[in-house]
């Protein structure tokens, strides 16, 4: 029996491909026109998947690289709701950012290859009919996003499985690659129409179903059951000003560490090519971008944490995400110490509190009144 979600998927896939088939069979499109449509389709599909990935409820199996933008948020629980949309989960940002980098770097290169291929093929690009096809691509992907939200499919997706990787691969292999190969073989138009129809079948029965990349367990296990009832004995909050000072002080270190070293290198290349002023300006813009990124990153990761101390639990609660992040039983704490940082002399609150258990360690950055926290927990 075909479910309603399957019907929606089949309908939008057919509509997205039908225009291309008609374009070749009826409108006598050239290979260049179809290659252009498929190129747009791949970019829109990737962008749609990246947008969907923000709302994916499940955690990917692989871990993030902390140095990448959003990588330090990979273990954050909970999400932020924006109007009628599902919650956006910070832990998905690093996957989405990586996808944006790939899209920015790879997709234009493919477009350049298509442009070169179009120069070597016969026939131009009919603007109006191709424009209609592109509008169909956007409508099809828009319907996919609405269906993704309406059917709540994000609850069973990870950020990676929300991206239609097989679908995009099918566009590249069976669409762009296949058509270009047929053009080089000087195939008749009927073969191109058959190839477009074959891509439709591949989209329906092969690439339309995305594999699951593995689900983490913790995302499905809320910690609220471990939080004691009643009011905590004490609540300690993060000093956001001290946290910002710490983030600003780390910017120079990030600029000399991968992957951010690409910014100083780019500034050097610009300076050699266009003069010292241009190089300094480029480095200034890069430093500003990294600074804003670090400030936002630190704020989301630590800025809204408050530590609630109960008689039998220490609870880290994120007020932005409205979710408990972790809990620790005081009797499992083997040691609790204060680690001074170079920012103590700049702004009070820069001391890091290290809570050590037998199997893990929790570091509490820029905690307001850290000495009182140590005394409360240790006492």
CATH number at residue 335: 2.30.29.30
In a domain, 20, yes or no: yes
Cβ–Cβ < 8 Å for 27, 193 = no
Cβ–Cβ < 8 Å for 259, 68 = yes
Is the model's pLDDT at 179 over the cut of 60?
no
Is the model's pLDDT at 217 over the cut of 90?
no
User: What tens digit of pLDDT does each residue of 335-345 get?
Assistant: 888 876 555 55
What percentage of residues in the chain have a pLDDT greater than 70?
A: 68
Instruction: Examine the domain organization and report whether 45 and 89 are in the same domain.
Output: yes
CB 28: neighbour CB atoms within 10 A?
A: 12
pTM of the model: 0.77
Q: Which whole number is the average pLDDT over 277-306? A: 92
Instruction: Examine the domain organization and report whether 262 and 350 are in the same domain.
Output: yes
Instruction: Examine the domain organization and report whether 180 and 244 are in the same domain.
Output: no
In a domain, 215, yes or no: no
The pLDDT confidence band at residue 35, using thresholds 50, 70 and 90, is confident
Q: Which whole number is the average pLDDT over 305-327? A: 93
Cβ–Cβ < 8 Å for 180, 8 = no
The domain total for the chain is: 2
Q: Which whole number is the average pLDDT over 137-163? A: 84
Instruction: Examine the domain organization and report whether 316 and 199 are in the same domain.
Output: no
| pLDDT score recorded for residue 68 | 65
The pLDDT confidence band at residue 4, using thresholds 50, 70 and 90, is very low
Residue 114 domain boundaries:
4-205
Instruction: Examine the domain organization and report whether 137 and 271 are in the same domain.
Output: no
The pLDDT confidence band at residue 51, using thresholds 50, 70 and 90, is very high
Instruction: Examine the domain organization and report whether 258 and 159 are in the same domain.
Output: no
Instruction: Examine the domain organization and report whether 166 and 32 are in the same domain.
Output: yes
Instruction: Examine the domain organization and report whether 138 and 200 are in the same domain.
Output: yes
| pLDDT score recorded for residue 348 | 47
Ranked by mean pLDDT, the top range of 6-10, 153-157, 231-235, 336-340 is 231-235
Q: Which two tokens stand for residue 95?
A: 């996957």
Q: What CA–CA distance (Å, rounded) separates 171 from 199?
A: 8
In a domain, 217, yes or no: no
Instruction: Examine the domain organization and report whether 122 and 185 are in the same domain.
Output: yes
In a domain, 214, yes or no: no
Is the model's pLDDT at 332 over the cut of 70?
yes
Domain termination residue (choose one: 205, 231, 257)? 205
CB 145: neighbour CB atoms within 10 A?
A: 14
Q: Which whole number is the average pLDDT over 301-316? A: 93
Q: What CA–CA distance (Å, rounded) separates 15 from 137?
A: 8
User: If you search the block for the tokens 């996957």, which residue do you land on?
Assistant: 95
Give the neighbor-by-neighbor strand order of the sheet with 361-364. Answer: 333-339, 352-357, 361-364
């Amino acid at each position: 029996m075909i479910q309603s979600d399957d019907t929606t998927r089949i309908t939008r896939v057919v509509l997205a491909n039908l225009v291309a088939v008609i374009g070749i069979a009826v409108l006598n499109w050239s290979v260049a026109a179809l290659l252009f449509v498929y190129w747009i389709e791949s970019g829109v599909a990737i962008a749609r998947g990246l947008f969907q990935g923000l709302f994916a409820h499940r955690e990917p199996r692989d871990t993030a690289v902390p140095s990448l933008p959003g990588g330090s948020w990979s273990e954050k629980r909970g999400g932020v709701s924006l109007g009628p949309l599902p919650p956006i989960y910070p832990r998905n940002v690093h996957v989405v950012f990586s996808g944006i980098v790939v899209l920015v770097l790879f997709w234009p290169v493919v477009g350049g290859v298509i442009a070169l291929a179009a120069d070597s093929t016969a026939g131009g690009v009919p603007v109006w009919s191709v424009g209609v096809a592109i509008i169909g691509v956007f409508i099809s992907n828009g319907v996919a996003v609405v269906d993704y939200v309406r059917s709540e499919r994000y609850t069973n997706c990870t950020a990676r499985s929300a991206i239609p990787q097989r679908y995009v691969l099918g566009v590249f292999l069976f669409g762009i690659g296949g058509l270009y190969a047929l053009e080089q073989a000087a195939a008749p138009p009927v073969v191109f129409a058959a190839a477009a129809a074959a891509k439709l079948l591949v989209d329906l029965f092969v690439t339309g179903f995305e594999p699951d990349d593995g689900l983490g367990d913790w995302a499905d296990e809320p910690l609220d059951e471990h939080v004691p009832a009643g009011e905590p004995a004490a609540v300690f909050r993060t000093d956001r000003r001290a946290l910002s000072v710490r983030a600003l002080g780390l910017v120079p270190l990030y600029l000399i560490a991968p992957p951010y070293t690409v910014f100083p290198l780019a500034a050097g290349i610009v300076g050699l090519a266009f003069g010292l002023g241009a190089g300094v300006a480029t480095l200034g813009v890069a430093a500003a971008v990294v600074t804003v990124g670090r400030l936002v990153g630190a704020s989301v990761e630590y800025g809204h944490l408050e530590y609630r101390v109960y008689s039998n639990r220490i609870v880290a609660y994120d007020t932005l995400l409205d979710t408990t992040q972790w809990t620790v039983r005081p009797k499992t704490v083997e040691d609790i110490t204060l680690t001074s940082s170079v920012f103590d002399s700049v702004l009070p609150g820069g001391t890091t509190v290290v809570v050590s258990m037998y199997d893990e360690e929790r570091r509490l950055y820029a905690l307001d009144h850290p000495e009182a926290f140590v005394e409360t927990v240790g006492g």
